[in-house]
Structure 1
Amino acid sequence: MRVYHSVLKLRLLIGMQYRTAALAGVATQFFWGFIIIMVFQAFYEYAVTTPPISLKEIITYIWLQQAFLVFVTIWFRDNELFDLITSGNIAYELCRPCELYGFWYAKLLAQRLSSALLRCFPILIVAFFLPKPYDMTLPPSFIAFILFISSLILGLFLLVAVSMFMYISVFLTMSPTGSLLIFSVLGEFFAGLIIPVPLMPDWLQKIAYVLPFRWTADFPFRVYSGHIPQNEAIIGILIQLAYILCLVWLGRLALNNILKKVVVQGG
């Protein structure tokens, strides 16, 4: 565990150096946040029936999505790992005196943490002081806030576990583009990043509730706004833990099996 902790700490410090890029990302995310909010405003204004989630909850949902974007999107990837796999330099990784799955997991976790820490606070602070109806609201209670933080962190662990399968699949396809496209499209849609899960048709909601993607974004964001009650939130956190344990176990098993068949050619 000391090795993985050291990797996490080192990568976190390296990632915190890119402050200018983070500020540029903050400006971009405010731009997209306002556009998405205005689209939903028009949708709610002309809605024939009452939507299952209020506009105010949607606005808070969107600002949380923009603030923690790198926590919840699969397309935030490490191109260095893709290059290692496709170029054959994976041989150097295999020489490390530690398990490759844990090493990569800690690295990917640190990259997302560092990027989120640089971006989330400016977005959240400004979002609270925006004029109505664009402002973000506080959670309904302190317990809801604690449940949100817990579910958000577990969602991050879960997303990294899911993204590991994307890198593992490149060993078979040797094409990062295809793996990235499939995982990104499915992950973003069923995580509620394009359409919040409560606004999906019933048959799509049933699919979203089975897949792990929804527990990385839709679930913690709706816990924050109080749309998901506290008792359901606690049950959801237990489900998140079960998904993490299952996916990490399957990911380690899949990577170890693939590494036994890896052939590195060249001088």
Structure 2
Amino acid sequence: MRVYLSVLKLRLLNGMQYRAAALAGVATQFFWGSMIIMVFQAFYQNAADTQPISLKELITYIWLQQAFLVFVTVWFRDSELFDLITSGNIAYELCRPCELYGFWFAKLLAQRLSSAILRCFPILIVSFFLPKPYNMTFPPSLSAFLLFLSSLMLGLLLLVAISMFLYISVFITMSPMGSLLIFGILGEFFAGLIIPVPLMPSWLQNIANVLPFRWTADFPFRVYSGHIPPKEALIGIVIQLVYLLVLVWLGRISMNRVLRKVVVQGG
């Protein structure tokens, strides 16, 4: 465990150096966040029926989505790992005196943490001071905020566990593009990053509730706004833990199986 914590710390410090890229990302996310809010504002103003989530809760949902984008998107990737697999340099990784699954898990976790730390605070701070109705609001209670933090971190761990299957699949396909498209489209849609889950038709919501993607983004963001009450949030956190344990277990089994069939070419 000490090895993985060291990897996490070193990769976190390394990722914190890319401040200019983070500032560019902040500007981009402010643009997209404002545009998405305007689209939904127009939808709410012309909707004939009352929507299952209020515009105020939805705007907070969108700003949290933009602030923690690297926590909730599957397509955020480490190209270095793809190159290691497809070039045959995975042989160097296999020489390390530690388990490859845990090593890569710590590396990917640190990459997402460092990017989020650099980006989230400017977005959150500015979004609170925007004019109504574009501003972000505070959670309804301290318990909602604490439950949000817990669910957000569990969602991050869950997303890293999901993204590990993306890298494992490249051992078989030897091309990351197909896996990125499949994982990226399914993950982004069913996590509620395109259409919030409460606004989906009932049959789509049933699918989203079964898949793990929704528990990485939609669930913690709605806990923050109070749309999901504390009792339901506690049940949801238990579900997150179950998904995390199952996916890590399946990921380690899958990684061990593909590593038994690895062929490394070269001189």
Q: Which amino acid aligns with 2:49?
A: T
Q: How many residues align?
A: 267
Q: d(CA) in 2 for partners of 1:131 and 1:52?
A: 24
Aligned residue number for residue 55 of structure 2: 55
Aligned residue number for residue 249 of structure 1: 249
Q: d(CA) in 1 for partners of 2:255 and 2:142?
A: 41
Aligned residue number for residue 196 of structure 1: 196
Aligned residue number for residue 219 of structure 1: 219
What's the CA shift string for 1:181-232, capped at 9, x where partnerless? 1000000000000000000000000000000000000000000000001000
Aligned residue number for residue 135 of structure 2: 135
Q: Is 1:65–2:65 an aligned residue pair?
A: yes
What's the CA shift string for 1:146-179, capped at 9, x where partnerless? 0000000000000000000000000111110000
1:29-108 superposed matches below 5 A: 29-108=29-108
1:85 Cα deviation after fit: 0.4
TM-score (norm 1): 1.00
Aligned residue number for residue 156 of structure 2: 156
1:266 Cα deviation after fit: 1.1
Aligned residue number for residue 125 of structure 1: 125
Q: d(CA) in 2 for partners of 1:2 and 1:147?
A: 28
Q: Which amino acid aligns with 2:20?
A: T
What's the CA shift string for 1:103-156, capped at 9, x where partnerless? 000000000000000000000000000000000000000000000000000000
Q: d(CA) in 1 for partners of 2:263 and 2:19?
A: 39
Aligned residue number for residue 15 of structure 1: 15
Aligned residue number for residue 4 of structure 1: 4
Q: d(CA) in 2 for partners of 1:60 and 1:124?
A: 10
Secondary structure at the counterpart of residue 263 of structure 1 = coil
Q: Which amino acid aligns with 1:123?
A: I
1:48 Cα deviation after fit: 1.2
Q: d(CA) in 2 for partners of 1:57 and 1:172?
A: 42
Q: Which amino acid aligns with 1:226?
A: G
What's the CA shift string for 1:27-77, capped at 9, x where partnerless? 000000000000000110111111100000000000000000000001110
Which runs of no fewer than 5 residues in structure 2 stay unpaired?
none
TM-score (norm 2): 1.00
Aligned residue number for residue 259 of structure 1: 259
Q: Which amino acid aligns with 2:36?
A: I
Q: Which amino acid aligns with 1:24?
A: A
Q: d(CA) in 2 for partners of 1:176 and 1:85?
A: 10
1:171-182 superposed matches below 5 A: 171-182=171-182
Q: Which amino acid aligns with 1:38?
A: M
Q: d(CA) in 1 for partners of 2:238 and 2:79?
A: 32
